[in-house]
Amino acid sequence: SQTIHQWPATLVQPVGSPLSLECTVEGTSNPNLYWYRQAAGRGLQLLFYSVGIGQISSEVPQNLSASRPQDRQFILSSKKLLLSDSGFYLCAWSPPGTGDGYTFGSGTRLTVV
């Protein structure tokens, strides 16, 4: 069966520090991968998606970036965090060629101080 792993679970970082969140999927090949952010008490905002290695698309302009160095690995990064980057970050995957059946990772709660 397929599983999705996301880490770390919580993170407190100072303003201006770098960020790296990692997500991996097991049990499937060539998944679609997604990064979402959820601000406190708010909805889910799509940040990045990827349909294959090295293929990254951004939905919103920001100081975050994403990379997909391996088929089942998706990384969210920032060179310098802002206070507004605080939130609950969720990685998700869906079977290739279809968006149905999204499965979310357990999330990373990021607090920028």
Partner 1 sequence: GENVEQHPSTLSVQEGDSAVIKCTYSDSASNYFPWYKQELGKRPQLIIDIRSNVGEKKDQRIAVTLNKTAKHFSLHITETQPEDSAVYFCAASITSTGANNLFFGTGTRLTVIP
Interface positions with partner 1 (CB under 8 A): 32, 34, 42-46, 49-51, 57, 59, 90, 94, 97-107, 109
Tell me how far apart the alpha carbons of residues 23 and 3 are, in angstroms, rounded to a whole number.
Answer: 11
Classify residue 75 as exposed, middle or buried by CB count within 10 Å of its CB (0-12, 13-18, 19+): buried
Residue type, 4: I
Tell me how far apart the alpha carbons of residues 9 and 23 are, in angstroms, rounded to a whole number.
Answer: 11
User: Closest separation between CB of residue 98 and partner 1, Å?
Assistant: 5
Cα 20 to Cα 2, 6, 44, 97, 106, distances in angstroms: 23, 11, 20, 27, 16
User: Closest separation between CB of residue 51 and partner 1, Å?
Assistant: 5
User: Closest separation between CB of residue 16 and partner 1, Å?
Assistant: 27
**Cβ closest to partner 1, residue 31 vs residue 75:** 31
**Cβ closest to partner 1, residue 18 vs residue 52:** 52
**Cβ closest to partner 1, residue 6 vs residue 78:** 6
**Cβ closest to partner 1, residue 8 vs residue 16:** 8
